[in-house]
């Protein structure tokens, strides 16, 4: 399971990079319409914050800048905040991708070194009613959660007139 998890997680990282490779810096905080408020700058930073949290869940360090945390951390569905459209409030695209890459690498290394038996341990977290083990949590955070946001970013991309990024992979 660890190998499949890491393979999917690495794919997600490549996909997010492809989703924004041709997006100009000034477009990173634009929203084409209601329902597509999660612009690229927010989405990438949010995924980096989620990866930092995943590290903590596994027993690794939580290393995420407090200023970035205020911008990118959300409490999931029901959180009333929407991403700000002000470009000046966000780090540059390269910084965002660099942080996401760094956080991904940390989580990948932790998973590689994780004793397989720990995947079956009970995990206390927001969705433990549905997914009660550490393996379930990792599958959600590394694959499902990321895929939900990458789907939003793909929708944003198409609404903004960009071609499919998935077709280039």
User: What is the CATH number for 106?
Assistant: 1.20.120.450
**Helix (H) or strand (E) run with residue 27 in it:** none
Region 2-7: what's the mean pLDDT?
96
Task: Look up the domain containing 53 and give its range.
Answer: 2-168
User: What does the pLDDT read at residue 116?
Assistant: 94
pLDDT of residue 76 exceeding 70, the answer is no
Whole-angstrom distance, CA of residue 56 vs CA of residue 38: 25
Which pLDDT band, with edges at 50, 70 and 90, does 74 fall under? confident
User: What does the pLDDT read at residue 40?
Assistant: 98
To 5 degrees, how large is the angle CA 89–CA 96–CA 163? 100
More confident residue, 102 or 84: 102
User: What does the pLDDT read at residue 48?
Assistant: 97
User: What does the pLDDT read at residue 80?
Assistant: 72
Which pLDDT band, with edges at 50, 70 and 90, does 82 fall under? confident
Number of domains in the chain: 1
């Amino acid at each position: 399971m660890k190998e499949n998890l890491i393979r999917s997680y690495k794919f997600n990282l490549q996909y997010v990079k492809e989703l924004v490779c041709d997006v100009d810096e000034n477009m990173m905080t634009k929203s084409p319409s209601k329902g597509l408020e999660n612009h690229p700058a927010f989405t990438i930073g949010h995924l980096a914050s989620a990866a930092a949290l995943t590290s903590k869940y596994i027993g690794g360090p939580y290393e995420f800048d407090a200023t970035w945390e205020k911008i990118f951390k959300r409490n999931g569905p029901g959180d009333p905040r929407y991403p700000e459209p002000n470009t000046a409030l966000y780090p540059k695209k390269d910084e965002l991708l660099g942080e996401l890459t760094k956080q991904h690498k940390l989580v990948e290394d932790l998973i590689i070194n994780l004793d397989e038996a720990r995947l079956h341990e009970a995990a206390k977290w927001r969705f433990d009613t549905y997914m009660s083990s550490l393996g379930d949590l990792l599958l959600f955070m590394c694959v499902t959660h990321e895929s939900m946001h990458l789907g939003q970013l793909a929708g944003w991309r198409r609404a903004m007139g960009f071609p499919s990024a998935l077709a280039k992979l």
